[in-house]
């Protein structure tokens, strides 16, 4: 729009210049006038750029500066139209055109040129340069060319019209264009902070990427104007991420104007970096008698910030009639900073709250425990609170354990992680412990007998801790894990803010290490395709074979998901995400576009193999494309099945169970090592499949094994063992435990041939 209006301004100015009586007779006077005009304009532009441009932008703001251009067009055009009714009209109109051109070019090449790059700051860095190049190289030339063509046709169509008619028509067009431009800038200003919040939420924005002055000004305007409270809360969170140390400069003057929820949020953000400079505004807020939630945070801010607090004033907040939120906060502050007598009063207040019959009192008492430094005798109440019938109380005491680092109750945090109702609170508490919680979380995450959901939350807590030690642990397990565990770890590393997880992986493993992980995934996908080729419906028949094939069909898809996650460590997140989305859309055109994106993005050695997996339809073609990575030797179904079980650490649990069901149906023998390893499998349905196989394949070995599995933790397996023992008339107690290895294992000879 700036280019369009610049051409229209110039067109009107030069057209009117030619028609002035003093210039029409002598063309050299036009050249003299333009040289003087452009010389004066150039000097003013240089002076403005040096002396005023940056100061105006800082004081007025980016958006008001950009709005100056359409405002100048609107104001001067209206003035020129009005001057047509004043004598002498032609001279006044020409003077107005000269002033408009001078002001427009002055602002265009100083203020507008300076603030334009700022508008691109919220755009992700990988797309910012491409977008700016598109505007400079495509949008502006198209706008210039379209305006030139429009003016050419306008001149042809108005040859028979009077000068005033076509001049007024251009004035009207310019007014509408300027109004549309002003409205566009206004809408852009409205969504500017929302876009910043979105990018910051993805961890793609930092203080070095944004103009803090403009951001603070935009946040202030957003908070002062009517709007959705959720958007205003997002603005506060954004400011706390970008400039946490100076967030009080923006929020403290606005405290009295905000809603109670936003007041509480602002004070909580300011508490991260308290400052004496903002103490006056917080005290003024307290004098206004805010809501209990706001009052509690304000009291905490005052007594933490003030260098010489009068703790005696907190006594007035310990009375039973005071709201429990305020009372608990005052008691915790007295426990931190009071003398022995005051600490005793605070302890007694919290004791009454923790044993109160009302749930709200107990909840606030538990939260106050989390804010106290020394729990002293109050820790005696924690066991009862952990068993409290109220869920909010249990969650609050879990958070208090994490905040006060009570080591004797750390096992309660792990138990809380195992239940849906207390999982969030337990995870928050564990994250507060930071590196201290890592050994517990690693042990839980590595426990294969726990459910995948609980293990995933344990890995997630390690990722949320986000220290270098935590990230190192994730990377170390990334190399040794497989399947769902590897996928979870990859996602957690990618979600760590500011791409710390990505950078740590590239530092620790290097590009070559990530490429090795990619090759592992492709090699496994190749083994699955080899199995599907050898276990075709013509060669492997029956319901069990169908189940095995269906389970194997899902494995390449899981492998491709992990491959896309690994690609994000090497290439632009947006490019890989767009390619993945297009390939999953099901549309042939979108899939072709996704493949094209990958073809132009990837430069790994196994690029062609990966693209062939995504592009080919037949298993034979896909396996043929992997010939450089996976060597395929045709096998009969029996040998291929045994080969799959040897790859049991990479197969899904269901695929492994299907292998034993199919072996039972086909009456094929398996090695004792394979059988014993899968009898120790953590999933009950896998052990159930192995027992069903042994019932047919080796009853003598089953007789020795069943007593050891009589107390299996899985209910279905235990019932299956009970039924088998009744069928075989086995009624003897279990001796010892199931051996992991050694002489007690049945060897291959123990399996009767079928």
Tens-digit pLDDT profile for residues 529-542: 999 999 998 888 88
Is the Cα torsion angle 96, 99, 103, 106 positive or negative in sign?
Answer: positive
> Does residue 348 have a pLDDT over 50?
yes
**Helices in 340-467 by DSSP H: which ranges?**
340-354, 359-371, 382-386, 391-404, 410-417, 423-433, 438-446, 452-465
What is the C-alpha to C-alpha distance for residues 734 and 258, in angstroms, rounded to an integer? Answer: 70
- Residue ending a domain, among 199, 231, 248, is 199
In this structure, the answer to whether residues 20 and 107 fall within a common structural domain is: yes
CA distances from 739 to 653, 700, 745 (A): 22, 17, 7
> Does residue 605 have a pLDDT over 60?
yes
User: What does the block give as tokens for 680?
Assistant: 């120790």
Which residues span the domain enclosing 513? 509-634
In this structure, the answer to whether residues 144 and 11 fall within a common structural domain is: yes
pLDDT for 630 equals 84
Per-residue model confidence as pLDDT tens digits over 91-150: 777 788 888 888 888 887 787 777 766 677 666 666 666 777 777 778 888 888 888 888
pLDDT for 257 equals 85
pLDDT for 190 equals 65
Identify the band that residue 463 occupies on the pLDDT scale cut at 50, 70 and 90: very high
Any domain includes 519? yes
> Does residue 721 have a pLDDT over 60?
yes
What is the C-alpha to C-alpha distance for residues 505 and 509, in angstroms, rounded to an integer? Answer: 6
> CB of 563 within 8 A of CB of 514?
no
In this structure, the answer to whether residues 630 and 680 fall within a common structural domain is: no
In this structure, the answer to whether residues 583 and 683 fall within a common structural domain is: no
Instruction: Give the N- to C-terminal CA distance of the chain in Å, as an integer.
Output: 84
> CB of 490 within 8 A of CB of 196?
no
Q: Taking the CB of residue 262, how many other CB atoms lie within 10 A of it?
A: 20
pLDDT for 214 equals 62
Per-residue model confidence as pLDDT tens digits over 299-331: 888 888 877 777 778 888 888 888 999 998 888
pLDDT for 210 equals 53
> What is the number of domains present in the chain?
3
**Helices in 84-120 by DSSP H: which ranges?**
89-107, 113-115
Q: How many helices (H) and strands (E) does the chain have?
A: 40, 0
What is the C-alpha to C-alpha distance for residues 211 and 541, in angstroms, rounded to an integer? Answer: 67
Using CB atoms within 10 Å of the CB of residue 20, give its burial: 0 to 12 exposed, 13 to 18 middle, 19+ buried: middle
Any domain includes 27? yes
Indicate which CATH number applies to the domain containing 178.
Answer: 1.20.1250.20
User: What does the block give as tokens for 718?
Assistant: 């235990």
Any domain includes 343? no
Any domain includes 721? yes
User: What does the block give as tokens for 555?
Assistant: 């494995």
pLDDT for 533 equals 92
What is the C-alpha to C-alpha distance for residues 582 and 276, in angstroms, rounded to an integer? Answer: 54
Identify the band that residue 26 occupies on the pLDDT scale cut at 50, 70 and 90: low
In this structure, the answer to whether residues 148 and 167 fall within a common structural domain is: yes
> Does residue 63 have a pLDDT over 60?
yes
> Does residue 431 have a pLDDT over 80?
yes
pLDDT for 752 equals 37
Any domain includes 224? no
Any domain includes 240? no
Q: Taking the CB of residue 608, how many other CB atoms lie within 10 A of it?
A: 14
> Does residue 389 have a pLDDT over 80?
yes
With tokens 């958007």, the residue in question is 231
Identify the band that residue 24 occupies on the pLDDT scale cut at 50, 70 and 90: low
Higher pLDDT, 635 or 369: 635
What is the C-alpha to C-alpha distance for residues 603 and 565, in angstroms, rounded to an integer? Answer: 16
> Does residue 459 have a pLDDT over 50?
yes
What is the C-alpha to C-alpha distance for residues 428 and 420, in angstroms, rounded to an integer? Answer: 14
Does an H or E element contain 639, and which? helix 637-646
User: What does the block give as tokens for 381?
Assistant: 């109440």
3-state secondary structure of 166: helix
Any domain includes 235? no
Identify the band that residue 288 occupies on the pLDDT scale cut at 50, 70 and 90: confident
> Does residue 399 have a pLDDT over 70?
yes
> Does residue 55 have a pLDDT over 60?
yes
In this structure, the answer to whether residues 619 and 662 fall within a common structural domain is: no
What is the C-alpha to C-alpha distance for residues 179 and 77, in angstroms, rounded to an integer? Answer: 12
Per-residue model confidence as pLDDT tens digits over 507-557: 999 999 999 999 999 999 999 999 999 999 888 888 999 999 999 999 999
In this structure, the answer to whether residues 531 and 546 fall within a common structural domain is: yes
Share of the chain above pLDDT 70, in %: 87
pLDDT for 7 equals 84
The mean predicted confidence, pLDDT, of the chain is: 82
Of 687, 666, 658, give the one whose Cα is nearest residue 675: 687
In this structure, the answer to whether residues 189 and 98 fall within a common structural domain is: yes
Please give the DSSP secondary-structure letter assigned to residue 670. Answer: -
Report the range of poorest mean pLDDT among 398-412, 666-680, 740-754: 740-754
Does an H or E element contain 43, and which? helix 27-51
pLDDT for 701 equals 85
Any domain includes 646? yes
In this structure, the answer to whether residues 613 and 679 fall within a common structural domain is: no
Mean pLDDT to the nearest integer, 483-495 = 93
pLDDT for 621 equals 85
In this structure, the answer to whether residues 672 and 589 fall within a common structural domain is: no
> CB of 524 within 8 A of CB of 513?
no
What is the C-alpha to C-alpha distance for residues 554 and 446, in angstroms, rounded to an integer? Answer: 25
> Does residue 18 have a pLDDT over 70?
yes
In this structure, the answer to whether residues 605 and 690 fall within a common structural domain is: no
The set of residues, in sequence order, having a beta carbon less than 8 Å from that of 637 and lying 6+ positions away, is 534, 535, 539, 540, 666
In this structure, the answer to whether residues 630 and 641 fall within a common structural domain is: no
pLDDT for 474 equals 95
Tell me the whole-structure pTM to 2 decimals.
0.70
pLDDT for 162 equals 56
């Amino acid at each position: 729009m700036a280019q369009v209006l610049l051409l229209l301004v110039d067109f009107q100015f030069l057209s009117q210049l030619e028609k002035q009586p003093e210039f029409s007779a002598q063309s050299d006077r036009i050249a003299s006038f333009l040289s003087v005009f452009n010389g004066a304009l150039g000097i003013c532009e240089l002076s403005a750029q040096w002396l005023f441009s940056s100061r105006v932008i800082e004081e007025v703001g980016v958006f008001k500066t950009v709005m100056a251009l359409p405002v100048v067009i609107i104001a001067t055009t209206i003035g020129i139209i009005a001057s047509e009714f004043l004598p002498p009209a032609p001279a006044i109109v020409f003077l107005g055109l000269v002033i408009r051109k001078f002001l427009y070019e002055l602002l265009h090449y100083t203020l507008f040129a300076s603030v334009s790059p700022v508008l691109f700051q919220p755009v992700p860095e990988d797309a910012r340069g491409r977008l700016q190049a598109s505007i400079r190289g495509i949008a502006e030339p198209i706008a210039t060319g379209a305006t030139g063509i429009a003016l050419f046709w306008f001149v042809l169509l108005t040859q028979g019209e009077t000068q005033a008619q076509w001049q007024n028509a251009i004035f009207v067009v310019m007014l509408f264009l300027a109004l549309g431009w002003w409205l566009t800038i206004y809408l852009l200003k409205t969504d500017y902070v929302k876009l910043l919040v979105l990018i910051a939420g993805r961890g793609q924005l930092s203080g070095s990427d944004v103009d803090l002055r403009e951001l603070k000004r935009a946040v202030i305007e957003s908070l002062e104007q009517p709007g959705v409270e959720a958007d205003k809360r997002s603005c506060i969170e954004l400011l706390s991420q970008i400039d946490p140390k100076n967030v009080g400069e923006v929020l403290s003057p606005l405290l009295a104007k905000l809603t109670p929820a936003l007041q509480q949020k602002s004070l909580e953000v300011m508490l991260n970096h308290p400052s004496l400079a903002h103490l006056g505004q917080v005290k003024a807020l307290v004098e206004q008698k805010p809501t209990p939630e706001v009052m509690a945070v304000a009291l905490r801010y005052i007594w933490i910030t003030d260098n010489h607090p009068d703790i005696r004033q907190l006594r007035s907040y310990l009375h039973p009639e005071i709201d429990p939120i305020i009372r608990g906060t005052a008691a915790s502050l007295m426990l931190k900073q009071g003398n022995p007598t005051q600490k005793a009063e605070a302890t007694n207040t919290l004791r009454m709250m923790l044993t109160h019959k009302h749930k709200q009192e107990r909840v606030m008492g538990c939260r106050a425990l989390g804010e106290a430094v020394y729990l002293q005798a109050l820790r005696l109440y924690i066991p009862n609170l952990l068993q409290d019938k109220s869920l909010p109380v249990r969650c609050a005491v879990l958070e208090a354990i994490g905040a006060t680092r009570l080591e004797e109750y750390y096992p309660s945090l792990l138990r809380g992680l195992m239940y849906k109702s207390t999982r969030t609170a337990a995870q928050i508490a564990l994250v507060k412990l930071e590196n201290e919680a890592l050994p517990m979380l690693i042990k839980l995450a590595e426990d294969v007998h726990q459910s995948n959901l609980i293990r995933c939350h344990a890995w997630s807590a390690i990722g949320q801790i986000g220290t270098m030690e935590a990230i190192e642990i994730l990377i170390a397990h990334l190399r040794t894990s497989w399947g769902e565990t590897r996928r979870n770890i990859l996602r957690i590393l990618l979600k760590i803010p500011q791409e710390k997880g990505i950078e740590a992986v590239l530092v620790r493993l290097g590009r070559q290490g990530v490429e090795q992980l990619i090759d592992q995934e492709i090699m496994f996908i190749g083994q699955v395709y080899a199995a599907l080729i050898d276990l075709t419906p013509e060669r492997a028949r029956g319901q069990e074979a169908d189940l095995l094939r269906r389970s194997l069909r899902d494995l390449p898809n899981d492998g491709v998901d992990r491959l896309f996650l690994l690609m994000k460590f090497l290439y632009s997140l947006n490019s890989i995400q767009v390619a993945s989305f297009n390939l999953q859309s099901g549309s042939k055109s979108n899939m072709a576009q996704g493949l094209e994106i990958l073809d132009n993005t990837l430069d790994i050695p196994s690029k062609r193999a990966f693209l062939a997996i995504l592009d080919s339809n037949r298993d034979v073609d896909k396996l043929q494309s992997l010939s450089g990575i996976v060597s395929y030797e045709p096998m009969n179904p029996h040998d291929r099945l045994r080969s799959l079980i040897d790859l049991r650490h990479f197969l899904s649990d269901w695929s492994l169970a299907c292998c034993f069901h199919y072996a039972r149906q086909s009456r094929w023998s398996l090695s004792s090592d394979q059988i014993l390893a899968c009898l120790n499998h953590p999933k009950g349905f896998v052990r159930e499949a192995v027992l069903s196989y042994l019932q047919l394949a080796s009853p003598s070995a089953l007789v020795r094994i069943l007593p050891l599995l009589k107390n299996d933790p899985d209910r279905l397996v235990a019932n299956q063992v009970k039924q088998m023992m009744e069928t075989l008339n086995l009624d003897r107690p279990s001796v010892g435990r199931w051996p992991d290895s050694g002489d007690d294992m049945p060897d291959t000879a123990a399996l009767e041939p079928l």
